[in-house]
Structure 1
Amino acid sequence: MSDLSEHMIAPEADSLHNMRLLADIPLRLSVEVGNTSLRLAELLELAEGSVVELDRQASELLDILVNGTLVARGEVVTVNGRFGVRVVDVVGTETRMAGVERRL
């Protein structure tokens, strides 16, 4: 019995080991300002200076997606002259998983 216990890993250590294995996996984070639907004819009429109205109010939070799955909502900020996003609300696990199931 002692031989077996020497090779057993505590659940906490096993979980930490698994997280370290996953930590180097690259993920695509994107921020969605809004979207709209256009007919092909409308798309072909777009030219420099055209404005396309999106489905979101300017005061609404933006969607933060990881590999296409909504994980949080936030607001635009600038950092050293670049755009950034400040996380305001993290989406719950149930909501995230429902989004994944819908895509499958």
Structure 2
Amino acid sequence: MTLPARGFDLLKDVDVRLSVELGRTEMKLKDVLALGEESVVMLDRLTDELLDVMVNGTLIARGEIVAENGRFGLRIVELATGGEESK
């Protein structure tokens, strides 16, 4: 099914949840409860790996962190192809 270009105008105001994932780890609950202000949690990614950009839990792109005017941002480096899953 192909929608005409103006058909997408109906969807432009739909709210979606965009999230950027730095990495993942598995921990026991007792270790999570022991976290404090100076705690460090090691993730499964290296510092030079791209971050997953997801919309409603679906991987749509990968990107990298940028800093501009004292704020963090995200530069999209590659768009996901249909069959990809997040790491």
Structure 2 residue 41 is the aligned partner of structure 1 residue 68: no
Aligned residues: 84
1:1-12 pair list within 5 angstroms: none
**Structure 1 residue corresponding to 2:24, chosen from 25, 35, 51:** 35
More strand by share: 2
Consecutive unaligned residues of structure 1, counting only runs of 5 or more, are: 1-11, 100-104
Tell me which stretches of 4 or more aligned residues in structure 1 moved more than 3 Å.
none
Cα deviation per residue 1:59-104 (whole Å; 9 max; x = unaligned)? 1000011111110001000122111110111001233xxx5xxxxx
Higher relative contact order (CA 8 A, sep 6+): 2
Is there any run of 5+ residues in structure 2 with no aligned partner, and where? none
Taking structure 2 as the reference length, the TM-score comes to 0.86
Give identity over the alignment, percent. 49
Q: What one-letter code is carried by the residue in structure 2 that aligns with 1:69?
A: T
Cα distance in 1 between the residues matched to 2:45 and 2:4: 40
Q: Match of 1:58, as an amino acid?
A: T
| Deviations 1:21-59, CA, capped at 9 Å, x for gaps | 111112221110001111011111111101010010111
